[in-house]
Amino acid sequence: MTNRIQTRDPELTRARILDAAEALFVEQGFSAVKLSALARSAEVTKSLIHHHFGSKEQLWEAVKNRAFERYFTAQMAMLEEAGEPDAALLRSSVEAYFHFLRDNPGVVRLFAWTHLEGDSHCGELDNQLVGAGAEWVRQAQMRGLLRQDINPTHVIALFVMTCTQWFEAKCHHQHWPGMGSDEAFLEDFLKIFMEGVTPRV
Amino acid sequence: MTNRIQTRDPELTRARILDAAEALFVEQGFSAVKLSALARSAEVTKSLIHHHFGSKEQLWEAVKNRAFERYFTAQMAMLEEAGEPDAALLRSSVEAYFHFLRDNPGVVRLFAWTHLEGDSHCGELDNQLVGAGAEWVRQAQMRGLLRQDINPTHVIALFVMTCTQWFEAKCHHQHWPGMGSDEAFLEDFLKIFMEGVTPRV
DNA sequence: AACCTAACTGGTCGACCGGTCAATTAAATC
DNA sequence: GATTTAATTGACCGGTCGACCAGTTAGGTT
């Protein structure tokens, strides 16, 4: 702000505000973020934030929408490049999801804040994601590749929730005695999960 | 506050403040809670809160400590009344934990807020809880009742995290297509989990 | 009954919150 | 080049936040 070239680029300004806001909201949650700190961080004036986004609440919505859209499209892409349903593909899907969350810690925290707010918006957004995944499981079940006495949606929910919670609550359980690394836990989870969902021979 | 009998009971006052604070903190998180609203809810003056707890921050710590102590002792009691390690007992332990969280939604949210704060205090508190659980799994493994190629701590972590996330993110996934009730999900989770941790015959 | 400690109150404080507004100015339109 | 539009600024607002403090009073001690 001090010595910035006197040029105007509203798109860039919006982006800079969104980026700074996302960083702060991810870190501190909605209530704890002060617009003054955000303005400082984004190197714009407070008024400019209001000009572009109306209010703190609307900015929060914009941040969430952008982040969840990123999440959604990334997942959709992963889903579409998946091939025929079989156990090996389920395994690699879990790995892919786990690593996506590991590489996108911001979206994990954004999900957590949103859950606590009781905002079900993001949940509705991935209805089709889960629906497609569950359909995929259902097909594998019909072919006898997965055990058939389990609700397909629950299969999806189980690994999504496990991956999510692993990273959401990492500060909580990372110091538990005997707890292994990201990869070690994923490995053990997959052992249990894959053994649990495939039919006994 | 308006027409309360002019008697003094500091213990009760502290308890009333703690109760009201817990309710508000659980609902809104630390930053969003206003001491004025808390004072109104607890039917005390703002000054009295400062008198008993010093600051908002210290009150937050007191609330967390009390709640996590309750959680800890409840879990410790459950653990102590457990008998010899075997698969059936693991199953009923998961059920007990799941139902404890279902019946104590406050502590689940408190955990979630605490995770987001990065406060590892509660995580350290249940080190011995997890340690005892993992030891219990280890014994079952040695007896051949559970498969031995899995980190015992990960077995505990997996079901703790799954139960926690189920209730933490309920608003998120409860509207997913095909999602079942609490009990239906628990049942399916146990099918996968128990099948995954017991050795193949 | 005198005394003391601490529970409790009302009033108040400076800081700073989110938000507004009129004025300025860069850039797009004509 | 004149005009319009909108990005941007700094000054400012009312409200209220957490905290503080001097004073009052109930309850226990001696």
User: Does position A3 have pLDDT exceeding 80, yes or no?
Assistant: no
pLDDT at A2: 35
Tokens for A142, please give them: 């019909």
Clarify whether residues B30 and B128 are in a common domain: no
Phi-psi region of A83 (alpha: psi -120 to 50; beta: other; left: phi over 0): beta
Which nucleotides of chain C have an atom under 7 angstroms from any protein CB?
6-12, 16-22, 25-27
Tokens for B179, please give them: 């999602």
Clarify whether residues A139 and A103 are in a common domain: yes
Contact A49, A35 (CB under 8 A): yes
* Confidence at A4, pLDDT banded by 50, 70, 90: very low
CATH classification of the domain holding A34? 1.10.10.60
Give a yes or no: residue A28 inside a domain: yes
Contact A69, A62 (CB under 8 A): no
Give a yes or no: residue B169 inside a domain: yes
Q: Which residues contact A34 (CB under 8 A, 6 or more apart)?
A: none
Distance of CA B42 to the CA centre of its chain: 24
Clarify whether residues A42 and A72 are in a common domain: no
Share of chain A above pLDDT 70, in %: 97
Contact B169, A111 (CB under 8 A): yes
Nearest nt to B52, CA vs C1'?
C7
Q: Which of B29, B62, B139 is nearest to A113 (CA)?
A: B29
> In chain B, how long is the greatest CA-to-CA distance?
72
Distance (Å) from the C-alpha of residue A175 to the closest C-alpha of chain B?
7
Phi-psi region of A178 (alpha: psi -120 to 50; beta: other; left: phi over 0): left
pLDDT at B71: 95
Q: Domain limits at B161?
A: 65-197
The secondary structure of residue A199, as a DSSP letter, is P
CATH classification of the domain holding A175? 1.10.357.10
* Confidence at A125, pLDDT banded by 50, 70, 90: confident
Among residues A54, A73, A92, which one ends one of the domains? A54
pLDDT at B99: 98
Tokens for B186, please give them: 């628990």
Our CA angle for B6, B11, B17, nearest 5°, is: 85
Separation of alpha carbons A85 and A136, rounded Å: 6
Clarify whether residues A50 and A72 are in a common domain: no
Nearest nt to A7, CA vs C1'?
C26
pLDDT at B14: 97
Buried b / exposed e over A156-165, threshold 16 CB at 10 Å, is bbbbbbbbbb
Clarify whether residues B91 and B143 are in a common domain: yes
Distance of CA B110 to the CA centre of its chain: 7
- As a whole number, the mean pLDDT across chain A is 93
Separation of alpha carbons B61 and B4, rounded Å: 29
Clarify whether residues B86 and B47 are in a common domain: no
pLDDT at A6: 67
Average pLDDT over residues A82-110: 93
Q: What is the distance in angstroms measured between the alpha-carbon CA of A55 and the sugar C1' of C20?
A: 12
**pLDDT one-digit tens code per residue, A7-16:** 889 999 999 9
Q: In which element (H, E) is residue B157 found?
A: helix B152-168
- For residue B122, the number of C-alpha atoms closer than 13 Å in the C-beta half-sphere is 30
Q: pLDDT 10s digit of each residue in chain B, 201 long?
A: 333 456 889 999 999 999 999 999 999 999 999 999 999 999 999 999 999 999 999 999 999 999 999 999 999 999 888 778 788 999 999 999 999 999 999 999 999 999 999 988 887 788 999 999 999 999 999 999 999 999 999 999 999 999 999 999 999 999 999 999 999 999 999 999 999 999 987
The total of structural domains in chain A comes to 2
Clarify whether residues A50 and A78 are in a common domain: no
Average pLDDT over residues A20-49: 98
Structure-derived torsion over alpha carbons of residues B27, B29, B32, B37, reported in degrees to the nearest 10: 50
- Which residues bind near strand D, taking a CB cut-off of 7 Å? A 1, 4, 8-10, 13, 44-48, 51-52; B 6-8, 33-37, 46-47, 50, 55-57
| Mutation target vs B (from A154, A166, A185, A189; most B CBs, 10 A cutoff) | A154
Clarify whether residues A94 and A33 are in a common domain: no
Tokens for A60, please give them: 């929060």
Q: Which amino acid is at A16?
A: R
